[in-house]
Amino acid sequence: MRVLVFGRTGQLARAMAAAVPQGASALFLGRDEADLSDPAACARRLAGAACDVAVIAAAHTAVDHAEGEEALARRINAEAPCAIGAAAAARGLPVILLSTDYVLAGEGSAPQPPDAPTAPLSAYGRTKLAGEVALRASGARHLIVRTSWVFSGGGGNFVASMLRAGARQPVVRVVADQTGGPTPADALARAVFAGARALVAGHPGGTHHFAGAPDVTWADFARAIFAAAAMPVTVEEIATADYPTPARRPPNSRLDCTGFERAFGVVRPDWRAHLPAAVAAIRAAA
């Protein structure tokens, strides 16, 4: 199985590079080789690539910045998947797109299935949803994987932010009315490869959810981070309204991942087992 990955330096791409399964090869494309802000160039790159499946692992993920640059976010998150999908369809190649819980409104408290109504609250969510719609319309056989709260030992993520904050102050205020499943990037990488292998073997694909377990609030996730780091930091719970941001976040990011397990045999990873290694890697690199 030959996998072409759009992305090289992000959390998922780096985790995929470390988790290429036996019998597979992967080529990772950075911005210098395939800039998603140039959809036509990405399509040309795929058109000439020796691969069996393409993975769009990169995106415009600066959620708050997207509020002020939605046109750029749409070009990267929607127009590029559209162009890549069309190029893949022309060759009969399947495509995997990484998407997000932000395409959902996040209402209620139940885990949301893949067919839950989409109603994004932010520019980031709108552009990612547009990418999903465009890929489905491209004619390419595809797998859309929505995930949430990705973390790893490298790159910008909530774990790194909390460690920095805890090093500066003994009390950290963290939102406690948003709930979701923190997702270890290495587990997500293995799930993507499982999906890729299934697509290459003829799986029809579709839209699926994959996130870590158990579901937790940001505040409780922060407490677990400080405990893993043995940092004597107190987490003060606050409401979303007390921490205004340019982009609105969904209050309920719980994802029903049972369909992914049935289709690809990959269960939700326990983020608590992955957290100590991520904390250690971030602190070692500081």
Say if residues 283 and 153 touch (Cβ distance below 8 Å). no
Say if residues 129 and 97 touch (Cβ distance below 8 Å). no
**pLDDT tens, position by position, 154-209:** 878 999 999 999 999 999 999 999 999 999 999 999 999 999 999 999 999 999 99
pLDDT, the chain, mean: 96
pLDDT in tens, the chain (286 residues): 999 999 999 999 999 999 999 999 999 999 999 999 999 999 999 999 999 999 999 999 999 999 999 999 999 999 999 999 999 999 999 999 999 999 998 989 999 999 999 999 999 999 999 999 999 999 999 999 999 999 999 878 999 999 999 999 999 999 999 999 999 999 999 999 999 999 999 999 999 999 999 999 999 999 999 999 999 999 999 999 999 999 999 999 999 999 999 999 999 999 999 999 999 999 998 7
Query: Is the entire prediction scored with pTM above 0.85?
Result: yes
102 in catalytic set: no
**pLDDT tens, position by position, 131-159:** 999 999 999 999 999 999 999 998 789 99
The answer as to CATH 1.10.3720.10 being correct for domain 2-155+183-212+253-271 is no
CA distances to 70, 123, 126, 218, 239 from 247, rounded to whole Å, are 11, 7, 11, 16, 15
Chain mean position to CA 7: 12
Report the C-alpha gap between 107 and 102 in whole angstroms.
12
Q: Which of 6, 28, 102, 124 is catalytic?
A: 124
Residue extents of the structural domains in the chain: 2-155+183-212+253-271
